[in-house]
Amino acid sequence: MTEQIVIAPLVVALVAAVLTLGTKYWPRLQRAVSVAGSLAYLAVVAVLFETVRTGGILTYQLSDWDAPFGISVVADSLSAFMLVLAGVVSLVALVFAATYVDEFGQRLSFHPLFHFMMVGVSGSFLTGDIFNLFVWFEVMLMSSYVLVVFYSGAEHTEAALQYVVLNLVGSAIMLLSIGGLYAVTGTLNMADLSRRLADPAAYGVDPAPVLGLSAILFAVFALKAGIVPFHWWVPAAYRAAPAPVSAVLAGVVKKVGVYAIIRLYFTVFSVASFGGLGLPGFAGDSLLAFYGPVLFLMAIASIFLGGFGAIDRDNLDDLLAYSSIGQVGFIVLPLAIGATATGTVPGTGGTTIRTLAITAALIYTVNHGLAKGGLFLVSGAIFEAVGSIEFDDLGGLSERAPVLSVGFLVAALALVGVPPLSGFFGKFLVFDTAAQALAVDAPGARLALVVALAGAILTIAYVTRAWNRGFWGPPSEAVDDAYSPRGQIAVALLLVVAVVAVGIGFDPVYEAASEAARAALDTEGYRDAVLFLGGGLA
Pick 159 or 87 by higher pLDDT.
87
- Give the whole-number percent of the chain exceeding pLDDT 70: 96
pLDDT class of 535 with cuts at 50, 70, 90: very low
Average of per-residue pLDDT values in the chain: 89
Q: In the chain, how many domains are there?
A: 1
Does 15 map to a domain?
Answer: no
pLDDT class of 277 with cuts at 50, 70, 90: low
- Section 108-116 average pLDDT: 91
Q: Residues 46, 59: contact at Cβ < 8 Å?
A: no
pLDDT class of 213 with cuts at 50, 70, 90: very high
Does 482 map to a domain?
Answer: yes
Pick 354 or 158 by higher pLDDT.
354
**pLDDT of the residue at 407:** 93
- Give the whole-number percent of the chain exceeding pLDDT 90: 64
**pLDDT of the residue at 476:** 80
Q: Is 60 exceeded by the pLDDT of residue 510?
A: yes
**Dihedral sign for Cα atoms in the order 400, 406, 411, 412:** positive
- Compute the distance between CA of residue 239 and CA of residue 317 in angstroms, rounded to an integer: 6
**pLDDT of the residue at 301:** 96
Angle between helix axes 254-261 and 130-148 (nearest 10 degrees) is 160
Which residues have C-beta within 8 Å of that of residue 309, sequence separation ≥ 6?
235, 322, 325, 326
Q: Residues 448, 353: contact at Cβ < 8 Å?
A: no
Q: Is 70 exceeded by the pLDDT of residue 279?
A: no
**pLDDT tens, residue by residue, 314-326:** 899 999 999 999 9
- Section 234-261 average pLDDT: 92
- Section 190-201 average pLDDT: 90
**pLDDT of the residue at 359:** 97
Does 69 map to a domain?
Answer: no
Domain that holds residue 334: 293-504
C-alpha R_g of the chain? 22
**pLDDT of the residue at 433:** 94
Q: Is 50 exceeded by the pLDDT of residue 283?
A: no
Q: Based on the number of CB atoms within 10 Å of its own CB, is 349 exposed (0-12), middle (13-18) or buried (19 or more)?
A: exposed
**pLDDT of the residue at 285:** 62
- 153-162, 188-197, 417-426, 521-530: least confident range: 153-162
Does 341 map to a domain?
Answer: yes
Q: Is 90 exceeded by the pLDDT of residue 61?
A: no
Does 395 map to a domain?
Answer: yes
Does 80 map to a domain?
Answer: no
**pLDDT of the residue at 275:** 57
Q: Is 60 exceeded by the pLDDT of residue 529?
A: yes
- Section 29-39 average pLDDT: 95
**pLDDT of the residue at 88:** 97
- Section 50-71 average pLDDT: 86
**pLDDT of the residue at 95:** 96
- Section 66-73 average pLDDT: 83
Residue ranges of alpha helices (H) inside 387-421 are: 397-400, 402-416
**pLDDT of the residue at 328:** 96
Q: Based on the number of CB atoms within 10 Å of its own CB, is 371 exposed (0-12), middle (13-18) or buried (19 or more)?
A: buried
Helix (H, G, I), strand (E, B) or coil at 537: coil
pLDDT class of 537 with cuts at 50, 70, 90: very low
Does 499 map to a domain?
Answer: yes
- Section 134-145 average pLDDT: 92
**pLDDT of the residue at 536:** 44
- Section 232-251 average pLDDT: 90
Q: Is 50 exceeded by the pLDDT of residue 111?
A: yes
Q: Residues 236, 162: contact at Cβ < 8 Å?
A: yes
Does 419 map to a domain?
Answer: yes
Q: Is 50 exceeded by the pLDDT of residue 494?
A: yes
Q: Residues 366, 427: contact at Cβ < 8 Å?
A: no
Nearest to 100, CA basis, from 391, 319, 377, 404? 377
Q: Is 60 exceeded by the pLDDT of residue 482?
A: yes
Nearest to 39, CA basis, from 113, 118, 102, 143? 118
Q: Is 90 exceeded by the pLDDT of residue 63?
A: no
- 79-83, 259-263, 287-291: least confident range: 287-291
Query: Which residues sit opposite 390 in a β-bridge?
Result: 315
| Global pTM value | 0.94
Pick 47 or 67 by higher pLDDT.
47
- Compute the distance between CA of residue 37 and CA of residue 119 in angstroms, rounded to an integer: 12
